[in-house]
């Protein structure tokens, strides 16, 4: 059963029926009304795991923020890095929700506040990092990124109340999350060769993020190269229980054909020769890659 939205009036009037002087009479009670309180809750999760290798050019840490309220809400977001081996360049909202950082569109929100989100709505955030420019010690330097999100209506101990500050003049009550969430990400400036970072997102036919039959999974592979290399190639097997979505393969936002032809990518239904992929897989040849380069591959599968 769907949760009743915050601000919904609950109206009730009773009736009394009785017999008098040979007739049935009826009177109504007074009407009582209450407004459903807004529950303040938020979820903030990082898209991925493990330490992030930060380079001189912008390094992106993607996150997902979800409004777990039963009402509309915006959230104050903040980020910090300690110690100073890494610099936080920006904390931005993914304006078009494509999962790719575009500095011309994905901007720091005014007053560090997200747009107002409807109940259950999620948005993507990007923490944009660069090295501080100071000489790193041998083996690199470690740092920690902390990102927080907090309900603008209020936060605190679960059960705390804010009279009259909920939707449509109702009260607001802090939910189990305390209306605040944080994520801690380990960082390093050490370079141990190329890194490959993978994220996924799910979209069901009804627009939800439920992993059900016919839901589409979008996989994003971000390859980062600190030094120049040659012969670079990305191979990713299609997960069991899913099928490849034809025409979904892209490199740095540009579409690639599924066939083995003149472009860099292909889908092979029997496996990619020269790799460990024994079943259906995608392969993208990056070839010669310059130092401090980042390339992003995306493709989609459908849950069977």
Cα–Cα distance measured from residue 76 to residue 149, given in angstroms and rounded to the nearest whole number: 6
Prior bond to 83 cis, omega within 30? yes
Residue-level pLDDT at 293: 85
Taking Cα atoms as reference points, which of 193, 203, 157, 162 lies closest to residue 177? Answer: 157
The verdict on domain 195-303 having CATH code 2.60.40.2260 is: yes
Kindly tell me if the per-residue pLDDT of 255 is higher than 70. Answer: yes
Q: With bands split at pLDDT 50, 70 and 90, how would you rate the model's confidence at 38? A: very high
Taking Cα atoms as reference points, which of 241, 239, 201, 199 lies closest to residue 217? Answer: 201
39-188 folds as Immunoglobulin-like (2.60.40)
Higher pLDDT, 208 or 93: 93
Domains 39-188 and 195-303 share a fold: yes
Is the Cβ–Cβ distance between 114 and 123 less than 8 Å?
yes
In the chain, the percentage of residues whose pLDDT exceeds 70 is 94
Q: With bands split at pLDDT 50, 70 and 90, how would you rate the model's confidence at 184? A: very high
Kindly tell me if the per-residue pLDDT of 213 is higher than 90. Answer: yes
Domains in the chain: boundaries: 39-188, 195-303
pLDDT in tens, 100-150: 899 999 999 999 999 999 999 999 999 999 987 655 554 567 889 999 999
């Amino acid at each position: 059963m769907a949760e009743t939205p915050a601000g919904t009036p609950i109206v009730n009037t009773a009736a009394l029926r009785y017999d008098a002087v040979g007739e049935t009479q009826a009177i109504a009670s007074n009407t009582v009304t209450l407004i459903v309180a807004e529950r303040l809750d938020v979820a903030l999760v990082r898209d991925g795991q493990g330490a992030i290798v930060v380079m001189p050019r912008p390094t992106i840490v993607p996150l997902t923020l979800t409004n777990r309220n039963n009402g509309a809400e915006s959230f104050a977001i903040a980020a910090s890095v300690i110690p100073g081996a890494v610099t936080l360049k920006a904390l931005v909202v993914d304006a078009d929700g494509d999962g790719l950082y575009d500095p011309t569109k994905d901007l720091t929100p005014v007053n560090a506040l997200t747009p107002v989100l409807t109940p259950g709505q999620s948005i993507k955030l990007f923490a944009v990092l660069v090295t501080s420019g100071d000489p790193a010690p041998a083996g690199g330097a470690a740092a920690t990124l902390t990102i927080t999100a907090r309900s603008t209506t209020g936060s605190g101990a679960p059960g705390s109340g804010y009279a009259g500050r909920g939707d449509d003049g109702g009260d607001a009550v802090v939910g189990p999350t305390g209306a605040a969430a944080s994520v801690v990400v380990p960082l390093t400036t050490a370079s141990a060769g190329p890194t490959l970072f993978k994220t996924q997102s799910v979209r069901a036919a009804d627009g939800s993020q439920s992993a059900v039959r016919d839901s589409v999974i979008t996989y994003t592979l971000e390859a980062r190269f600190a030094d120049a290399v040659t012969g670079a190639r990305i191979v990713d097997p299609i997960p069991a229980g899913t099928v490849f979505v034809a025409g979904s393969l892209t490199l740095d936002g540009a579409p690639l054909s599924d066939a083995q032809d003149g472009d860099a990518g292909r889908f092979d239904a029997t496996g990619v020769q020269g790799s460990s992929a024994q079943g259906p897989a995608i392969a993208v040849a990056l070839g010669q890659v310059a130092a401090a380069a980042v390339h992003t591959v995306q493709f989609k599968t459908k849950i069977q």
